[in-house]
Amino acid sequence: MPELPEVETVRRGLLPALEGARITTASVNRPDLRWPFPDRMADRLTGARVTALRRRSKYILADLDTGETLLIHLGMSGRMTVSGDPLGRFHHTHPTPAKHDHVVFDTDTGARITFNDARRFGAMDLLDTDTQDEHWLLRDLGPEPLGNSFNEAHLIAAFAGKRSPVKSALLDQRIVAGLGNIYVCEALYRAGISPLRHAARIAPGRVARLVPIIRDVLAEAIEAGGSSLRDHRQADGELGYFQHTFLVYGREGQPCQTPACAEKIRRKVQSGRSSFYCAACQR
């Protein structure tokens, strides 16, 4: 499932084609994805202008001049691609509609934004913009890891007394929003912290140093266009490239990248997810 860097990459790709544009036609080609689309979604979107295109955790949020906000979740296989953008950043011709093109937006700039989702685990909803933070998908989210609210004091306080493994704590969206399995594994390796260690047993100084490491991992991944392991594509259809620089994720049995370390990367399943780590370098 796409994590923060992949969603942010898609948002940035959509930005020049969608923000400020008016949706002249919204086509909704099925009644649902992961759950039913909101009532009359196509009618409510047609004619609306996108005033801002934002991201919250793993959700893309398009604020509309109608007072509503379109929430988009890519799910496991969802892609949003742009064609016909007059700015010349994408293909100039619209592709032939594909089998899993479930939602399509045509805009007054000539751009077309297509949401394709083969597995249909994605989702869209329309929220009241003024009360969107009360929506059940958004109301319990913690601070954004790239924002000022995610800092050393916050993470130290969140870990205090927490008996769960640090890997599970960092995946808890109430503690920090948007982190997923890939980038938690990579950040913990860089920090030298075992994913098996209980969060409360990590010294405050080590917890504090984890904050800038998380920021660096996410920033590097966004710069690389995210990680394309199975389905992720950028808005122009290109793959992300961060997977080529993984230090531990998916590298079970391969040598640790730390110089002079003779260990091989291990994998352990935690709460149904694979943790990759070096037992020698991470304690």
Residue 230's pLDDT is 56
Domain enclosing residue 271, as ranges: 152-277
Q: Is the residue at 12 inside a domain?
A: yes
CATH of residue 87's domain is: 3.20.190.10
In order, the DSSP letters of the chain are ---HHHHHHHHHHHHHHHTT-BEEEEEE-SSBSSSBPPTTHHHHHTT-BEEEEEEETTEEEEEETTSEEEEEE-TTT-EEEEE--TTSSSBSSPPPPPTTEEEEEEETTS-EEEEE-SS---EEEEEEGGGGGGSTTTTT----TTSTTSSHHHHHHHHTT--SBHHHHHH-TTTSSS--HHHHHHHHHHHT--TTSBGGGS-HHHHHHHHHHHHHHHHHHHHTT---SSS---TTSPPP-GGGG-SSTT-TTSBPSSTT---B-EEEEETTEEEEE-TTT--
Domain annotation covers residue 170: yes
264 shares a domain with 174: yes
So what's the pLDDT on residue 98? 82
**Amino acid residing at 181:** N
The count of structural domains within the chain is 2
**Residue 145 belongs to some domain of the structure:** no
Domain boundary among 108, 134, 160: 134
* Token digits of residue 33: 């994805």
Catalytic residue among 22, 44, 215, 273: 273
Spatial separation of the C-alpha atoms in residues 95 and 81, rounded to whole Å: 10
Q: Are both 160 and 130 inside the same structural domain?
A: no
In a domain, residue 43? The reply is yes
Residue 159: what residue type?
A: F
Active-site residue (options: 55, 58, 162, 167): 58
Residue among 2, 145, 165, 195 flagged as catalytic: 2
CATH number of domain containing 183: 1.10.8.50
Q: Tell whether 141 is covered by a domain.
A: no
Cα 9 from Cα 67, distance rounded (Å): 26
Residue 283 lies in a domain: no
Asked if 273 is an active-site residue, the reply is: yes
Q: How far apart are CA 77 and CA 61, in angstroms?
A: 18
Task: Tell whether 241 is covered by a domain.
Answer: yes
Selecting among 3, 6, 8, 68, the annotated active-site residue is 3
pLDDT tens, residue order, the chain (283 aa): 788 999 999 999 999 999 999 999 999 999 999 999 999 999 999 999 999 999 999 999 999 999 999 999 999 889 999 988 655 555 557 778 889 999 999 999 999 999 999 999 999 999 999 999 999 999 999 999 999 999 999 999 999 989 999 999 999 999 999 999 999 999 999 999 999 999 999 999 999 999 999 999 999 999 888 875 555 556 566 656 577 889 999 999 999 999 999 999 999 999 899 999 999 999 9
Q: What is the pLDDT of residue 236?
A: 62
φ, ψ of residue 180 in degrees (nearest 5): -130, -175
pTM: 0.90
Are 269 and 180 in contact, with CB atoms under 8 Å apart? no
2 catalytic, yes or no? Answer: yes
Domain co-membership, 76 together with 193 = no
What is the rounded CA–CA span in Å between residue 223 and residue 226? 7
Is 121 a member of any domain?
A: yes
My answer on whether 205 and 105 are in the same domain is no
- Residue that is last in its domain, among 134, 161, 179: 134
pLDDT of residue 152: 97
Measured distance CA(66)–CA(129) in Å, rounded: 9
